[in-house]
Structure 1
C-alpha cells in the first residue's frame, strides 16, 4: 500500500503552515517597524520647555496622601495665540497672550478631575518674572491676568497662578490655537449647540443656529467668539469654551475614536504638533498615561467650572477674585471634593452640549458658587422652578442652549 499521497498531503500542509508563519512574521515586522516610526514621529512632534529655573524655590508645598498610588496633579492648560505672521493667525499681531487658562486638577485617587477656568480679564498682583525675550526681570505688580503670559510665558503664568491660589502646579501644557483646528478635524468634528444665528462683523465670525458638529475654522470661531452671542463678552466665551472642551473630551475618549486607528493617529498627530509642555509630560508614554487616567475617571467625573469672580470696582470692564474663590483654591490644595454649592455651574464631559444646564449667571458677581444662584436645592417645587429659571438665564447670558 503506497503512502505517497499521504506524504505529499503532509508536505503540502507543512508548506502552507510555513508560508503562513513567514507571512505572519513579515506582517508583524512591518507593523512593529511602522509602529516604531509612528511612535518616533509623534514623540518628535512634542516641544519640551524646561522652566524649572525660572520658577524658583519659593513655591506652594505639595500635599501627598499616604497609602494612595498617585499624588494629586495640577496641570495648567494654556491656549496660546502666539503664531504671529502665520496664515490664519487668530490673534492678529499680539504680544502672545494666553487667551484660555484652565487649571486641571486630578485627584490622588483618580476618581475626579476639575478643570477650573481663570478669566483673562482678572486683575491680580503679578509676581516678579523673567521676561521671555531675555531682557531681564519684570518687577510685577497689579495687572490683567493674561499679561503674565505675554511678559514671561508659561513660567510667569505658573508663578502668577501659584501666588494667587497657593496651589502647586505640577505640569503645564500650551496648546497652539491653529493646531487646535487640526485636533477637531481629526475627531471629525465636535458637537455644539448655537442658540441663535451669529453674524459677528467685528471678528468675521458667522455661525448658523442649531445643534451640529463644527470643524476647522468654524470650530475655532466658536471658541473664540466674543461678540453677538452672549451678553457678557469674555465671560460667556469662557463658559462656551468649557462646554466645548467637555464635548471634545467626550468625543476623544469615546469608543469611536479609540477603536479607530486612523482617527486616533490623526488626533494624536494633530495634538502632539500643537503642544508645548514641561519635560515631565513631553513623551507619548507620559501623555498616554495621563490620558488613560482621565479615561478611567469617567466622563461624568471630568468637570469644568470657573473660579468665582466679581466686578473690579475701579474698572467695570475688569474682574476681581470673589471671596468664594479662597474656598475653591483650598479644596484643590487639599485634594478635597467640591461641595454641592461650589459645584453650581459645573459642566461635565458626559453632558449633551445641546442641553447645557448652567448653574450660574456667568456675569459679574454671580460666578460659580458666588451670589447664591440656584438656591440650596431644598427640593420644593418653587425652588426647582427658580433653579431652572436661573439655569435658563445663565445659558442665555453665556450664549448656550438652555
Structure 2
C-alpha cells in the first residue's frame, strides 16, 4: 500500500511564484497595478511556531538548503466543492515536504498521507486559539483545527526537520485556475462511477474543467489504492496543469495568464508576506529543472485488522532515513548511503502527452488499509512493462506510453 506523490507539486511551490514573477516583472503602470491586486488577494497567514532551531535564518541564500511545507487543502465551502456531503474547513488533503538543495540545482519532495496516525503538538492559531497536544490522531486534523501554522509545527515534531516556509493551496481557487487556462487534458483508463459521491467521469482522454476537474483530483474511491492512488492522480493532473501554464498557449496570452494568476493568488495561504516574497523564492529556484526534482511518499503501512487504528496508516521507522537526508542536505540517491528508503523516488513523466502518467515506482501491495503492506524497493527502471501497467491501473492512471 505505497505510492508516490505529485510530481506536479514542484509547480505548486515554484511555478506559483514564477507566474507571479512574470506578471510583476514589467514596468508599465498597469502591470504594477495588477501586481498590487495580486498582493491584496494573497492570504499572508501567521509565521511558523517553530519547535526546532535552524529555519528562518537570515542567510537563506544558496549557502544552506530550504525546506518548504506545501499543503493542498480540502475545504468544502466553495460552490460545488462539496463532492462528499461534508462542509466547513477540512483537513490538509495533501502534504508535501519540499527540500531544496543548498546549491539550488535540485529538489525532492516527501508526501505524507492524510490518513497517517501521528502525535500532534500544542499550537496556537493565528487568532490566538490554543490547540492542545494529542496522541495518535490523523495527520489532517492539525489543519482542520489550527490551519497551516499547526500543520507546520506538527511536521517539525514528526520529522525533526525545521521548515522555512509553508504554502497552502485550496480547492475553491483550483477550479478557477483550471478554467482560466481552458481546462486540462487527462487520460482516464476506466470510467469512474462513484454513486456515493456523485462523481461520473467516462474513460478516455478528456479536457476537464470546473467541477469535473475538481472531482478528478478529489475522488479516492475509484482505485484499490484509495488515498494513495488519489495522490498519484493529483501528481499527474498538476503536472499537466503546470505545463499548460508555462506553455506558449498561456504565456503569450496576457488575459489568460492574468486570470490564472488572480485565481491563484486568491487561493494561497502562506507565511511569505507578499507576492514579491514569492517571486524571490522563485528566483532562488530558477535553475532547478523538472528532471532534477524527485518525489516519494513517506514509508507507510496499514494497521493490522483488529487494531483501533485499522483503516489508517502508520509511518514506518524507515522514514527516519528521509528526514536525515533533509537535515544533511543529501540527495535521495546518495552514494554515501547505498541502501535506499522503502519509498522509491521518481521523476516526472512527459506531461505533454495525453496518455502520460507519472513514471511508476514499486507501489507495494494494493491490499486494503487494514493489511500489512510490505515495503517495496523496486525502482521504476527495474519494473517489467506488465508491472508498470498494473501500477498505473491500481492508481487510476493510463499505462505509460
TM-score of the aligned structures, taking structure 2 as reference length: 0.79
Match of 2:395 among 383, 398, 401: 398
Match of 2:46 among 34, 50, 63: 50
Which structure carries more relative contact order (alpha carbon 8 Å, separation 6+)?
2
Match of 1:224 among 218, 223, 233: 218
Equivalent residue number for residue 81 of structure 1? 74
Using a 3 Å threshold, how does the CA distance of structure 1 residues 126 and 187 change in structure 2: closer, same or farther? same
Equivalent residue number for residue 355 of structure 1? 356
Equivalent residue number for residue 371 of structure 1? 376
Q: Is the 8 A contact 2:73 2:171 kept in 1?
A: yes
Equivalent residue number for residue 229 of structure 2? 236
- The question of 1:246 aligning with 2:243 is answered no
- The question of 1:263 aligning with 2:259 is answered no
Equivalent residue number for residue 100 of structure 1? 94
SS for the counterpart of 1:69 is coil
The worse-fitting range, judged by mean Cα deviation, of 198-207 and 31-40 is: 31-40
Per the TM alignment, residue 130 of structure 1 is displaced from its structure 2 partner at its CA by 2.8
Using a 3 Å threshold, how does the CA distance of structure 1 residues 290 and 271 change in structure 2: closer, same or farther? same
Per the TM alignment, residue 193 of structure 1 is displaced from its structure 2 partner at its CA by 1.6
Equivalent residue number for residue 40 of structure 1? 36
Ranges in structure 1 where 5+ consecutive residues have no aligned partner = 1-29, 378-383
Write out per-residue CA displacement over residues 348-380 of structure 1, whole angstroms, 9 at most, x where no aligned residue.
16444623231122646658xx322359x6xxx
Ranges in structure 2 where 5+ consecutive residues have no aligned partner = 1-25, 335-339
Using a 3 Å threshold, how does the CA distance of structure 1 residues 35 and 166 change in structure 2: closer, same or farther? same
Using a 3 Å threshold, how does the CA distance of structure 1 residues 210 and 239 change in structure 2: closer, same or farther? same
Per the TM alignment, residue 239 of structure 1 is displaced from its structure 2 partner at its CA by 1.6
Equivalent residue number for residue 330 of structure 2? 336
How far apart are the structure 2 equivalents of 1:293 and 1:210? 39
How far apart are the structure 2 equivalents of 1:255 and 1:302? 23
How far apart are the structure 2 equivalents of 1:172 and 1:133? 18
Using a 3 Å threshold, how does the CA distance of structure 1 residues 74 and 126 change in structure 2: closer, same or farther? same
Equivalent residue number for residue 287 of structure 2? 296
- The question of 1:273 aligning with 2:276 is answered no
How far apart are the structure 1 equivalents of 2:373 and 2:293? 23
SS for the counterpart of 2:68 is strand
Using a 3 Å threshold, how does the CA distance of structure 1 residues 184 and 303 change in structure 2: closer, same or farther? farther
Per the TM alignment, residue 389 of structure 1 is displaced from its structure 2 partner at its CA by 3.0
How far apart are the structure 2 equivalents of 1:354 and 1:61? 43
Using a 3 Å threshold, how does the CA distance of structure 1 residues 106 and 187 change in structure 2: closer, same or farther? farther
Per the TM alignment, residue 262 of structure 1 is displaced from its structure 2 partner at its CA by 2.0
The worse-fitting range, judged by mean Cα deviation, of 260-269 and 284-293 is: 284-293
How far apart are the structure 1 equivalents of 2:302 and 2:64? 35
Per the TM alignment, residue 215 of structure 1 is displaced from its structure 2 partner at its CA by 1.8
Write out per-residue CA displacement over residues 97-145 of structure 1, whole angstroms, 9 at most, x where no aligned residue.
1112112222222212223221000011111223677553413221111
- The question of 1:123 aligning with 2:117 is answered yes
Using a 3 Å threshold, how does the CA distance of structure 1 residues 147 and 353 change in structure 2: closer, same or farther? farther
- The question of 1:193 aligning with 2:187 is answered yes
Which structure shows the bigger proportion of residues in helix conformation? 1
SS for the counterpart of 2:161 is coil
Equivalent residue number for residue 287 of structure 1? 278
Q: Is the 8 A contact 1:299 1:349 kept in 2?
A: no
Using a 3 Å threshold, how does the CA distance of structure 1 residues 205 and 328 change in structure 2: closer, same or farther? same
Equivalent residue number for residue 140 of structure 1? 134
Q: CA RMSD in A?
A: 2.9
Using a 3 Å threshold, how does the CA distance of structure 1 residues 287 and 135 change in structure 2: closer, same or farther? closer
Using a 3 Å threshold, how does the CA distance of structure 1 residues 299 and 68 change in structure 2: closer, same or farther? same
Q: Is the 8 A contact 1:60 1:166 kept in 2?
A: no
The within-5 A match list for 1:301-320 is 301-313=292-304, 314=307, 315-320=309-314
How far apart are the structure 1 equivalents of 2:237 and 2:61? 32
SS for the counterpart of 2:178 is helix
Equivalent residue number for residue 17 of structure 1? none
Q: Is the 8 A contact 1:310 1:321 kept in 2?
A: yes
TM-score of the aligned structures, taking structure 1 as reference length: 0.79
Q: Is the 8 A contact 1:242 1:305 kept in 2?
A: no
Q: Is the 8 A contact 2:220 2:227 kept in 1?
A: yes
